[in-house]
C-alpha cells in the first residue's frame, strides 16, 4: 500500500506562493506531490527531495508548452482541466516567469475569467432571490418560491467561490504593478 497524504490549499488566488513553498517543504521530508485533490493536493511517500514547485495557468496547453518547460528543467507533475499546470525542478533552476510583463498577463487572464464568472453568478443569484422575494408576497406559487430560494443560495455559494478569487487576483495584480 502506498502511503498518501492530503494537504489543503489556501486557495490559488490567495496563497499560490505559500502553497508552493509548503509543497517543497513536504518534499524535503519525503512527501512528494502527486496531484491535485479537492481544495488541496495529494502527496505520496517517497524519497526526500530538494525541489521547488511552480504553478502556471494556460488554457489548452499544447505539446510545445510542456516541451518548453521540459527544456528549461521543469518537469510536469499534474494539470487540472488542462488549464492549471504544476511543475517541479531542482532548487536553483531559473524561474518559469523571467519578466514581469508575462507574469502580469498570467494573473490578468485569471482575474478576467473569475470576474466574468462572478458577474454571471451575481446576476443569477439576484434573479433567484428576487423570485423568492416575490414568492413571499404570494405573487408566485410556493413551489417556484422555494425552488428559487434553494437555487439562490446555491448560486450565492458559487458567487462567493468566484468573487473571492477575483479579488485575490486583483490584489496580486495591484502588488505586481506597484513594484514597477
Partner 1 sequence: MARYTTEMEELTDTPFYILVSLMEAKHGYFIMKSIETMTNGNFIVGPASMYTTIQKLLSAELIELVDEGDRRKKTYITTKKGVQLLKKEVKRRQEMVRHAEKMFKEKGEPLA
Interaction residues for partner 1, span 39-78 (CB under 8 A): 54, 56, 58, 63-65, 67-72, 74
Judged by CB, which is closer to partner 1: 22, or 76?
Answer: 76
Q: What's the sign of the alpha-carbon dihedral 153, 13, 63, 88?
A: negative
d(CA 67, CA 36): 21
Q: What contacts 126, CB < 8 A, 6 or more positions away?
A: none
User: Shortest distance, CB of residue 162 to partner 1, whole angstroms?
Assistant: 23
122 CB-side CA count, 13 A: 10
d(CA 3, CA 74): 25
Judged by CB, which is closer to partner 1: 47, or 99?
Answer: 99
Interaction residues for partner 1, span 86-145 (CB under 8 A): 94-99, 101-103, 105-106
Judged by CB, which is closer to partner 1: 106, or 111?
Answer: 106
Q: For residue 60, count other CB atoms closer than 10 A to its CB.
A: 7
User: Shortest distance, CB of residue 106 to partner 1, whole angstroms?
Assistant: 7
Judged by CB, which is closer to partner 1: 32, or 96?
Answer: 96
User: Shortest distance, CB of residue 74 to partner 1, whole angstroms?
Assistant: 6
User: Shortest distance, CB of residue 62 to partner 1, whole angstroms?
Assistant: 8
User: Shortest distance, CB of residue 107 to partner 1, whole angstroms?
Assistant: 12
SS3 105: helix
Contact 84, 57 (CB under 8 A): yes
Asked if 26 is part of the footprint of partner 1 (rule: CB under 8 A), the reply reads no
Nearest to 54 by CA among 85, 33, 25: 85
Residues at the interface with partner 1 (CB under 8 A): 54, 56, 58, 63-65, 67-72, 74, 94-99, 101-103, 105-106
Amino acid at each position: 500500500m502506498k502511503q498518501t497524504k492530503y494537504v489543503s490549499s489556501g486557495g490559488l488566488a490567495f496563497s499560490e506562493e505559500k502553497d508552493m513553498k509548503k509543497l517543497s517543504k513536504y518534499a524535503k521530508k519525503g512527501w512528494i506531490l502527486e496531484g491535485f485533490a479537492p481544495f488541496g493536493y495529494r502527496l505520496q511517500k517517497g524519497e526526500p527531495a530538494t525541489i521547488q514547485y511552480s504553478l502556471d495557468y494556460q488554457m489548452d496547453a499544447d505539446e510545445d508548452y510542456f516541451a518548453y518547460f521540459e527544456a528549461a528543467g521543469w518537469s510536469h507533475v499534474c494539470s487540472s482541466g488542462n488549464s492549471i499546470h504544476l511543475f517541479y525542478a531542482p532548487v536553483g533552476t531559473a524561474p518559469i516567469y523571467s519578466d514581469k510583463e508575462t507574469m502580469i498577463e498570467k494573473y490578468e487572464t485569471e482575474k478576467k475569467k473569475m470576474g466574468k464568472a462572478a458577474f454571471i453568478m451575481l446576476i443569477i443569484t439576484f434573479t433567484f432571490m428576487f423570485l423568492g422575494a416575490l414568492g413571499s408576497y404570494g405573487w408566485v406559487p410556493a413551489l417556484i418560491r422555494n425552488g428559487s430560494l434553494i437555487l439562490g443560495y446555491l448560486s450565492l455559494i458559487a458567487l462567493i467561490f468566484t468573487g473571492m478569487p477575483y479579488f485575490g487576483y486583483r490584489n496580486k495584480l495591484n502588488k505586481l504593478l506597484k513594484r514597477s
